Amino acid sequence: MDNPIRQALVARQLEEQITARFPVGRRLKVLDVALRDGYQALRLARAGHEVTGLESDPALAAAVGRVLADEPEGIRERTHVVSGDSRSTGAHFLPGSFDVVLCHGALVPGDEPGPLLAGLGRVLASGGLLSLLVPNTGARAMRPGLAGDWEGALAGLALSDPADPDERALRLDALTAALTGMSTPLHRWYGVQVFTGGDTALPDGEEGERLLAAEERAGRTDPYRAVADALHLCAVRD
């Protein structure tokens, strides 16, 4: 699994938003853009939802297919993998086709998020939930600084220039404005991995649960969530 701590935290946050927004037992239509290892998509399929994954890398799509082959027939029948780039949603799906759209990791610094976000909003049904996971470009110096890597911290501070348009595009305020402009205003946001980095292993048993409990609480609490490794934005289509 790609970064089990991050995946577990996002899963909990996503479940909270889905439970708050949709009736219990409703089978949702879910699109996972940039499917990758398919962790969130498979979790939602196992929960009874109809899931479509969009993935441009044939090797990643094939890996998800191998995992699906070992799943029960019902899960296989309601999980579909489509070959395509994250910005090609309009070519594959009709407007308003999905109740939930996930886009976790497709946006990186230097990207212009507008076209991708517009495509995601187009395929999201009215009242639907958009889940975005983006790197926290405003806190790049935190992890190296906490590790005593002062050269890395200085480099992160130099990259976190709010005047740089490449950096600003993925900042919370810029994404909030973009989402509002496409009639999908931000409903809730979380910090993901306040205390741990991407290379931190998730311990087994009670220690792992305590780690996740601390991360989950910090991820919804100011000022901690603002310095997390990543930001999880949950927006709702008007």
Question: Is 149 part of any domain?
Answer: no
Q: In what order do the strands lie in the sheet with 230-236?
A: 79-83, 50-55, 29-33, 98-104, 124-135, 230-236, 186-192
Confidence band, pLDDT 50/70/90 cuts, at residue 26? very high
Residue 176 burial class via C-beta count within 10 angstroms: exposed 0-12, middle 13-18, buried 19 and up: middle
Question: Is 160 part of any domain?
Answer: no
Of 101, 77, 76, 78, nearest in space to 90 by CA: 101
Per residue in 35-69, pLDDT tens? 999 999 999 999 999 999 999 999 999 999 999 99
Q: Sign of torsion, CA 148 110 185 5?
A: negative
Per residue in 194-235, pLDDT tens? 999 877 899 999 999 999 999 999 999 999 999 999 999 999
Mean pLDDT of the chain: 93
Q: What is the predicted pLDDT for the residue at 165?
A: 64
Q: What is the predicted pLDDT for the residue at 146?
A: 87
154 by DSSP, 3-state: which?
Answer: helix
Boundaries of domain holding 197: 4-19+28-138+165-236
Residue ranges in the chain assigned as alpha helix (H): 4-21, 39-46, 58-69, 73-77, 89-92, 113-123, 142-146, 150-159, 165-168, 172-181, 205-218
Judged against a pLDDT cut of 90, whether residue 29 lies above it is answered with yes
Question: Is 9 part of any domain?
Answer: yes
Question: Is 151 part of any domain?
Answer: no
150 by DSSP, 3-state: which?
Answer: helix
Give the Cβ contact number of residue 198 at 10 Å: 12
Residue 227 burial class via C-beta count within 10 angstroms: exposed 0-12, middle 13-18, buried 19 and up: middle
Confidence band, pLDDT 50/70/90 cuts, at residue 162? low
Judged against a pLDDT cut of 80, whether residue 166 lies above it is answered with no
Per residue in 110-148, pLDDT tens? 888 999 999 999 999 999 999 999 999 889 899 899 889
Confidence band, pLDDT 50/70/90 cuts, at residue 2? confident
Question: Is 173 part of any domain?
Answer: yes
Question: Is 192 part of any domain?
Answer: yes
Question: Is 61 part of any domain?
Answer: yes
Cβ neighbours of residue 66 closer than 8 Å, sequence gap 6 or more: none
C-alpha span between 137 and 24 (Å, rounded)? 36
Q: What is the predicted pLDDT for the residue at 45?
A: 97
Number of domains in the chain: 1
Is the pTM of the predicted complex or chain greater than 0.75? yes
User: Which CATH number characterizes residue 223's domain?
Assistant: 3.40.50.150
Confidence band, pLDDT 50/70/90 cuts, at residue 167? low
User: Which tokens is 92 given?
Assistant: 């594959």
> Mean per-residue pLDDT for 1-11?
91
Angle between helical axes of 4-21 and 39-46 (0-180°, round to 10): 40
Q: Assess contact for 101 and 128: CB atoms under 8 A.
A: yes
Give the Cβ contact number of residue 214 at 10 Å: 14
Question: Is 143 part of any domain?
Answer: no
Q: What is the predicted pLDDT for the residue at 1?
A: 62
Cross-strand bridge partners of residue 102: 32, 131
> Mean per-residue pLDDT for 152-157?
90
User: Which tokens is 160 given?
Assistant: 């976190």
Q: What is the predicted pLDDT for the residue at 158?
A: 83
Q: Can you tell me which residue has the tokens 């996503």?
A: 14
**Higher-confidence residue: 207 or 161?**
207
Per residue in 64-115, pLDDT tens? 999 999 999 999 999 999 999 999 999 999 999 999 999 998 988 888 899 9
Q: What is the predicted pLDDT for the residue at 163?
A: 66
